[in-house]
Amino acid sequence: MKEFILGIRNKSAFVFSWLVLLWLIFCSLQRESEISNVVLWQLFILSLSGSVLHSVFFGGAFFKKTHFNLRLTFFIFCCALIESYLIYHFQLFGISKLSEWGLFLLIVIVLYLASLGVFQIYRAKSGKHYTKLLKQYQKKHEDTQYEWVK
């Protein structure tokens, strides 16, 4: 449980830092000179919710034997629901701005597909690596494998 809490703390700090940095860039581009306290709290709540979800789905405490693709699918779905609620609740953009919601949905889908693609590449590379190691081990122990038969 301690690792779970520490994971949430570390992930929240990392995500919050990036969100604040991105918000600073956004404000600079918009020629805004300050960030409100409300926006900082909103960014904190957003980063905390994402960190809790990430720890639940990928921390190992709850879903130890569930396949990565299934965990990723549930994670993205839950994140999209929570983020949609927070975006609407914080009035970052309204319900009638279909172009902004469409862009949000597109970003979620692209990130989901990119995550699946990266995982498939990683799995293929690690599979080849471990197959190579297994073949080396088998070749090394090929002569001693049937000594008990002699």
pLDDT in the model for residue 34: 83
Least confident of 23-27, 55-59, 62-66: 62-66
Tokens coding 137: 């081990």
pLDDT digits over 10-54, tens only? 889 998 998 889 888 878 887 888 888 888 998 899 899 989 988
Amino acid letter, 32: E
- Rounded to two decimals, the pTM is 0.65
Q: Residues with Cβ < 8 Å from 3, sequence gap 6 or more? A: 59, 61
pLDDT in the model for residue 144: 63
- Mean of all residue pLDDT scores within the chain: 83
CA separation, residue 16 to residues 60, 75, 109, 115, 130 (Å)? 23, 19, 22, 21, 37
Residue 78 per-residue DSSP state? H
